[in-house]
Amino acid sequence: MRHRPPWEKHRPGALAPAGLRSYQCPVRPPRPDPIALVLLAHGSTAHRSALGRIAPLAAALATGSPFHPVKAAFWKQAPRIQEVLADLPSDRACIVPLFLSAGHFAGRVIPQTLGLRMSNGIGMGRAFERDLVYARPLGCHPGLARIAGELGRSVLPPETEPAADTALVLAGHGTPRNRRSRRDVETVAAGVRRLGWFAEVHALFLEEAPRIEDWWRISSRPRVVVIPWTLAEGLHGGEDIPVRLGADPAAVEARLAAKEAPWINPTPLHGREVWCTPSLGAAPGLSRLIRELAMEAAAAARWLEAKEAADGE
């Protein structure tokens, strides 16, 4: 039977429920020139912690990857995406937006700025004298639910039973400007809920209801675990979210100045135990999801040729 290339099995924009496992197979570029991989994060001019989260991901993806080189880039801080693209040695680049939703920036501002044509969540175009393909954002990968659940359980003592008495909160940004920002976080929350690892799972937001500061009204469980739904601590994950949860602003500022975690686990609030994880960028397994998103986009651009593993066909 004829072996079908991956883009015939999975249309662009349609991730396999198992997390694109069909792309975990031997690949070779049909052209001799390399394909660069650019990890694009939001970044901040005031809080540069994003680089500390992105650099290890880039290093992990540089090993055993069909992409070369692997570079980190940012929208709001150096090295900016325009500079990175202009300096690439390859004339082809796959950009994976490390955004946790396909909202205002990842879904609209960045593709428009780079002049990309979007179809089913994947963008293609040419800029800086290079052919570009733009993958779907990290927050759209279905495997993110399991990673979030594992991160939530990792901060609890081993003797706890989170399925019986613990609520998990994904503390996202949200924005009235783009409903996708909220919807993608809620989709991950629903995925964690289906795992059955926590008694409750909620998606709460900084800029829209249901709001993070209302966690104690929304959940009735004696133990609450909060995941700052950001890639790096930064302003939102390191300051805004702890304060919205109920931490003293001065205490948070002092811990950050001492280069300590902004939250003390557990913190008693409203008669509950509140635990807070590091930002999502600290979770193991993210590099695998990023690679799968890049492979999906490169396959849609016909840049990669894949042979399916022998499966009896």
The mean per-residue pLDDT over the stretch 150-176 comes to 95
- Residue 225 · residue 166 · CB < 8 Å: yes
pLDDT at 303 over 50: yes
Per-residue pLDDT reduced to its tens digit, 70-123: 999 999 889 999 999 999 999 999 999 999 999 888 999 999 999 999 999 999
The mean per-residue pLDDT over the stretch 28-57 comes to 77
pLDDT at 7 over 60: no
Tell me the HSE value of 77 on the side-chain side, using a 13 A CA sphere.
15
- DSSP for residue 23: G
- The residue assigned the tokens 């991989």 is 37
Largest CA distance in the chain: 67
**Domain ranges across the chain:** 6-139+285-306, 142-282
pLDDT at 143 over 90: yes
CA distance 311 to 313: 6
Classified by CATH at the fold level, domain 142-282 comes out as Rossmann fold (3.40.50)
The CATH class of the 6-139+285-306 domain is alpha beta
The mean per-residue pLDDT over the stretch 8-13 comes to 40
What torsion, rounded to 10 degrees, do the Cα atoms 48, 52, 58, 59 define? 150
Which class for 10: exposed (0-12), middle (13-18), buried (19 or more C-beta within 10 A)? middle
CA distance 66 to 296: 13
Three-class DSSP category at 179: helix
CA distance 6 to 280: 29
The mean per-residue pLDDT over the stretch 275-294 comes to 94
Higher pLDDT, 5 or 278: 278
The reply to whether domains 6-139+285-306 and 142-282 share a CATH topology is yes
Tokens standing for residue 140: 């759209």
pLDDT at 259: 86
Task: Dihedral sign for Cα 148, 228, 95, 13, please.
Answer: positive
φ and ψ at residue 312, rounded to 5 degrees? 90, 0
pTM: 0.84
Tokens standing for residue 85: 């693209």
